[in-house]
Chains A and B, each alone.
Chain A
Amino acid sequence: MNELLWFVSRATGTASIVLLTAVLVLGALTAGRRSRALSQTVVVGLHRSLALGTSAFLLAHIGTAVLETYVSIDWVSAFVPFTAGYQPLWVGLGTLAFDIVLAVVATSLLRHRLSRRAWKAVHLTAFALWPLALVHGYAMGTANEPLLRLVPVACAVVGGLALTWRAVARHADQDRRQAILTQEWS
């Protein structure tokens, strides 16, 4: 039973990293603004529902990590960083990431009741969440199973590409203004 919990914790943690990266990519695509309206709707809808789905995997990951008794991680460590008895630094990074997830999910569910500025300020902390989760996953993915370390590395590459695209992506309005300026006036 204990062994099962340990494996489930590993598996859901790795799945969470993949899902988080997917949500990050979809968020970057939303903010960077693809021009076609239909794909934009799919992207923003997936961003939202995958983010909520990721929370379920995260809860399973944290729940099993606390319940299994190979290593000492208790309920306090699920919320307060750097308090775990086992690898406090690396577990703590995961805890920090989880705290940010809680804040981002809560503010996004209440998005329409908050000011845009307040929502956005919290939402931007997701850019800290993602690397924290990757480092946590890489450091805890111990060496006898290379796949556990390969996943965070691959996710870092994919997410990094998405963020680079986001940084250089031109605003649709900009392109259109350019097009208007160069068109023939009759």
Chain B
Amino acid sequence: MTASSPTDRRDRPALAGHPTVRVDRVACTGHGVCASLLPGSVRLDEWGYPVVLTAAEGGVDDGESARAAAVRLCPAMALYAERRS
């Protein structure tokens, strides 16, 4: 078994899952655009800030194009698509 790395998590099923997004917490201003474009993997906390769900937490993949749209439209430029190889 190979050791896990940020890009290869095959040996750690709890962390492995679909490609997802990351939030720059400092830049995020809570418009909520990501949550409406990525309903499967992002939900908003009670203050309207995004919580990214991993597969283990019940998150589902919203698809490449939805992720790209969310990154492009984030008004605060606080969303990044996570690269997985």
Interface residues of A (CB under 8 A from B): 30-31, 33, 35-38, 40-41, 44-45, 48, 111-112, 116, 119, 172-173, 176
Contact A44 B73 (CB under 8 A): yes
User: How far does the alpha carbon of A112 sit from the alpha carbon of B71 in the complex, in Å?
Assistant: 9
Contact pattern, B 60-76, Cβ under 8 Å of A = 1, otherwise 0: 00000000000111010
B contact residues, total (Cβ < 8 Å): 18
B-side contacts of A112, CB under 8 Å: 71-72, 77
User: How far does the alpha carbon of A172 sit from the alpha carbon of B33 in the complex, in Å?
Assistant: 14
B19-65 CB contacts (< 8 Å) to partner A: 27, 29-33, 35-37, 44, 46-48
15 A–B contacts from the bound complex (CB under 8 Å): A30-B75, A31-B75, A37-B32, A37-B48, A38-B36, A40-B31, A41-B36, A44-B33, A44-B73, A44-B75, A112-B71, A116-B27, A116-B77, A119-B77, A172-B48
Interface residues of B (CB under 8 A from A): 27, 29-33, 35-37, 44, 46-48, 71-73, 75, 77
B44 to chain A, nearest CB (A): 6
A-side contacts of B73, CB under 8 Å: 41, 44-45, 48
- B48 touches which of A41, A44, A48, A176 (Cβ 8 Å): A176
User: How far does the alpha carbon of A172 sit from the alpha carbon of B32 in the complex, in Å?
Assistant: 11
User: How far does the alpha carbon of A119 sit from the alpha carbon of B77 in the complex, in Å?
Assistant: 11
Contact A33 B31 (CB under 8 A): yes
Known: A44-B73, A112-B72, A172-B48. 11 other contacts (CB 8 A): A31-B75, A35-B48, A40-B33, A41-B36, A41-B73, A44-B31, A116-B27, A119-B77, A172-B30, A173-B47, A176-B48
